[in-house]
Structure 1
């Protein structure tokens, strides 16, 4: 429905605009001081060490958004070819070689794996994005394979194979199109899960400095003083929630579009 798209665009647009335009327009922070209520040059007051909360909010969105979007894109960049290859191959051994290692990785709790790796290495924002992408690849690849398997078994694909068409034409030109609606449904849920992992990792101090301007770090850093200074916790938490909720509304609106005749045939 159109109203769902508009609502999703508005909800997700606020944190995205803050993430994109916040740092350039943040300017200089207000003078340090202990002001737990808006005023004295601090629109949202100050945090527990006297830093301007509004200034932190403007700077804190970009790390969360960039890391989450990068991790999601990396996960699909690997998972989609793997899933399509597993669905299109007629070699059982190759399919097992592709999918069974992913099943082993899927059995390990995502956050536990991130914490274990971060205990050995010290990942920055880029390293955190790669780690989150890696733990999302197995599940995404299985979904792609399941969505593509039925289309890959249809006579049209068999005809293309008998004509000697390339794997690329069969996978991208035919089979991949049948998975688009499934991937759209999965993307909203996956982005929510990625945001959860990124925010939780930042909350635990993985991939970001303890005093970084980051929405998740702000929640962690100020949660003990929630009763005195709620804005330092509530505002970044609501912005993270808006990202996940708005993204799902947008993907749901995309799924409301009726399937084309070609998609129904596939």
Structure 2
């Protein structure tokens, strides 16, 4: 059956939000209406106007420009942290599945359980406190939380695939475990990994905003949505738009990627859709 958008409204809405965010971030790399780091104290705390569409902050910096560049910074942290977690977690989970029931497999899974016992943002905060603030360290900290998520998923999916006839036939033909994993196991669980990566991306965006709010993520003068929220806290009563716009950007981004992940899960696993109807 062909794709019917009305059967996957979450996928359509989430995909539209994700595409819009990527378009804004890409545009922010080459053009912004103003320099997002330029201080203009005479223009400080202006409301939305024809010149400054979403107003200016306490240092006179244009909010639209900072939101555009902040979108790129958030995407960079989210993509790199999820990619690192995906690669490391998938390799670890697939390797553990090949040693199912062994002490090594048990050690890997119990370590994963220990890491997952802490919330994502708390894990990232603890790590960044240890290794220092900055975007690069934030990427590493968020990736560490993503590793056990993908490892558990990859191990579960690999165990299911390894029991199928074509894998048994490949093993009987003399293929090594590495060749079997690359040629048969990974392609059959790629869809599940992509779905999980989309959901983890939303969590990574939220974690990056939390770290930046605490001063542990993207460092000034580089714009960051979380940092914009932190700087707006003093002006909540008089200039609420300073917090509304970056807060709405974070909420809309997280909502969009969660909807996209749910829609992709419906496509990959129709049983999940039937369970919710």
TM-score (norm 1): 0.85
- Go from structure 1 to structure 2 and tell me whether the alpha carbon gap of 1:116 and 1:255 turns closer, same or farther (over 3 Å shift): closer
Q: Tell me what 2:275 maps to.
A: none
TM-score (norm 2): 0.82
- Runs of 4+ more than 4 Å apart: none
- Go from structure 1 to structure 2 and tell me whether the alpha carbon gap of 1:190 and 1:259 turns closer, same or farther (over 3 Å shift): closer
State the secondary structure of the residue aligned to 2:267. coil
Q: Tell me what 2:157 maps to.
A: 147
Q: Tell me what 2:23 maps to.
A: 17
- Go from structure 1 to structure 2 and tell me whether the alpha carbon gap of 1:201 and 1:181 turns closer, same or farther (over 3 Å shift): same
State the secondary structure of the residue aligned to 1:179. helix
CA shift for structure 1 position 131: 1.0
Match of 1:245 among 249, 255, 265: 255
Over aligned residues, Cα RMSD in angstroms?
2.6
CA shift for structure 1 position 91: 6.4
**C-alpha separation in 1, matches of 2:111 and 2:233:** 40
More relative contact order, 1 or 2 (CA 8 Å, 6+ apart): 1
**C-alpha separation in 2, matches of 1:257 and 1:135:** 26
Match of 1:222 among 232, 240, 244: 232
State the secondary structure of the residue aligned to 1:39. coil
Unaligned stretches of 5+ residues in structure 1: 261-266
CA shift for structure 1 position 40: 7.1
CA shift for structure 1 position 2: 2.1
**C-alpha separation in 1, matches of 2:101 and 2:45:** 67
**C-alpha separation in 1, matches of 2:103 and 2:263:** 40
Residue 166 (structure 1) aligned with residue 176 (structure 2)? yes
Question: How many pairs align?
Answer: 260
Residue 179 (structure 1) aligned with residue 185 (structure 2)? no
Greater mean deviation of Cα atoms: 242-251 or 30-39:
30-39
Unaligned stretches of 5+ residues in structure 2: 271-277
